[in-house]
Amino acid sequence: MMLEIRDLDAWYGKSQVLRGVTLAIGEGEIVALLGRNGAGRSTTLKAIMGGVTRAGAIRFKGEDISTLAPHEIARRGLGYVPEDRAIFPDLTVAENLLLGEKRGVRRGQAAFALADAYALFPRLGERAAAPAGALSGGEQQMLTICRTLMGNPRLIMVDEPTEGLAPMMVARVRDLLAEVARRGVTILLVEQKLAIALELAQRLYIMGHGSIVFEGTAAEFSANAKIRQEWLEV
C-alpha cells in the first residue's frame, strides 16, 4: 500500500474530530473521501500531513510518518493541495510554481517541471509573469495543484478542488486530476461533487461524525441507497 492509516484520532484543542479512522490507498489508485460538511474529511488530510494534533498509525510507502513534521512528510513524496489554495498572491505565477520545486532532484529525474505545468494548463504559461492574486479562482486552483506536483510527489491529497468553480473550470480540474493519475501519481481526493468523485475514483470511503462508515468501489456505493441517504444526502 502507498498509504495506510489505522486508528487515527485528531483534535483541535480539546475538541476531538477524528475517531479511529482507518483507510488504505494502493499505488496508482484514485480514492475519494466523501461525507457531509463537518464529517472530518479535511481534518483527515491535515492529520496525515501533521497539521493538527493526532494519534494513530500513519505509514507512507511502508515508513511510519506519524511523528514527522509536515515539511519532512512532503520531502518523502506526499503532496497536499489545501482547500484554501494557499497561493502567494504578490508573487508571480512562475514564482509560485517554483516554490513547490523539490530541491536536490538531478536533471532528468524530475517527473514534473514548469513546462509540464504550462502544457497541462496553458493559461498558467500565458500568465507566468502576472501576480498569482490576479488569477481567477479556477486558475488559482490549477496553480495550486501544479505547484504541488512540482515537488514530484508519489501521492497527492487534494481537498475540495472544484468548490466554488464554474462548470467549465470544474471539468478542467477533473481532466487535470485524471491526467495526473495517468502519469502514475496516486490521489486521495476530498470532493463534494459526487459525480466527479464517482467518475474519477476506483474506491470510496464515506465519513460520518469523524469515522469511516463505508468503504467500497464506486459501483458498490452506487448500489447502496441507504448509505447515500444516511451520510450524504441533505
pLDDT of residue 108: 46
- Among 169, 185, 87, 97, which Cα is nearest to 134's? 87
pLDDT of residue 95: 96
pLDDT tens, residue by residue, 25-71: 999 999 999 999 999 999 999 999 999 999 999 999 999 999 999 99
Query: What 3-state DSSP class applies to 189?
Result: strand
pLDDT of residue 59: 97
pLDDT of residue 34: 96
Pick one of 1.10.3720.10, 3.10.105.10, 1.10.357.10, 3.40.50.300 as the CATH number of 3-231: 3.40.50.300
pLDDT of residue 224: 92
Q: What is the residue-level pLDDT of the chain in tens, covering all 234 positions? A: 999 999 999 999 999 999 999 999 999 999 999 999 999 999 999 999 999 999 999 999 999 999 999 999 999 999 999 988 889 999 999 999 999 887 655 444 446 889 988 988 889 999 999 999 999 998 999 999 999 999 999 999 999 999 988 899 899 889 989 999 998 999 999 998 999 999 999 999 999 999 999 999 999 998 999 998 999 986
Contact 124, 117 (CB under 8 A): yes
Could you tell me the residue ranges of all domains in the chain?
3-231
Reading the block at residue 214, the C-alpha cell is 463505508
Contact 80, 157 (CB under 8 A): yes
pLDDT tens, residue by residue, 103-118: 655 444 446 889 988 9
pLDDT of residue 105: 54
Q: CA–CA separation, 191 vs 159, rounded Å?
A: 7
pLDDT of residue 113: 86
Q: Residue type at 144? A: T
pLDDT of residue 109: 46
3-state secondary structure 24-60: EECCCCEEEEECCCCCCHHHHHHHHCCCCEEEEEEEE
